[in-house]
Amino acid sequence: MLYRGVVVPGDRLGRKLGYPTANLKISPDVLPKDGVYAGEVRGEKLSRVYIGAVSVGNKPTVAGEKRVFEVYIPGFKGNLYGSELQVSLIKKIRGQKKFASIEELKRQIAEDVRKILSLKKEDRARDRQTPDRRKTSRLLGLKKSRPKKA
């Protein structure tokens, strides 16, 4: 399922956590179910498709109030405020949880990101077996296309 929205300021805790997220402005009645998902992220300020770690919910660990849709984009550094992102959810990893401490939340997010990036590796491995998937990988920016010989 594809979600699109403009990046708006969050509570700015993500930076302290070490996992800054882009918070998307999405109408509450179209938000997906709470959880943590792997997603493909596209946007006008992104030079390629990224794999992102998406969190949907009211952030029970930090006593958030509203349900939010936010995405951490490993490997991307830059300012996305005010720009539109399109996020396609690929796979649900787990549900939202209330952790006993920020430290525990941080450890879990590290684990989530590892898992999400390993999905990317699985995709690469599958690519080696099935040529018709290569195009998808190139689109995802997972594979550099070989320079053409002159």
Ligand X SMILES: Cc1cc2nc3c(=O)[nH]c(=O)nc-3n(C[C@H](O)[C@H](O)[C@H](O)COP(=O)(O)O)c2cc1C
Q: Contact positions toward ligand X, by CB under 6 A?
A: 10-14, 17, 19, 21, 23, 36, 53, 55, 59-62, 70, 72, 96-97, 105, 109, 112
Cα 63 to Cα 60, 94, 97, distances in angstroms: 5, 19, 11
Q: How far is the CB of 57 from ligand X (least distance, A)?
A: 6
- Who's near 22: CB < 8 A, 6+ residues apart? 7, 70, 71, 73, 80, 85
Termini Cα distance of the chain: 41
**Is the separation of the CB atoms in 69 and 22 below 8 Å?**
no
Q: Which is nearer to ligand X, 40 or 127 (CB)?
A: 40
Give the pairing of strands 2-8 and 84-94.
antiparallel
Nearer to ligand X, 113 or 127 (CB): 113
Q: Which residue is nearest to ligand X (CB)?
A: 10
Q: Which is nearer to ligand X, 104 or 135 (CB)?
A: 104
Distance in Å, CB of 61 to ligand X, minimum: 3
Tell the smallest beta-carbon distance from residue 149 to ligand X (Å).
42
CB-hemisphere CA count at 13 Å for 91? 12
CB of 145 to ligand X, least distance (A): 30
Nearer Cβ to ligand X, position 36 or 85? 36
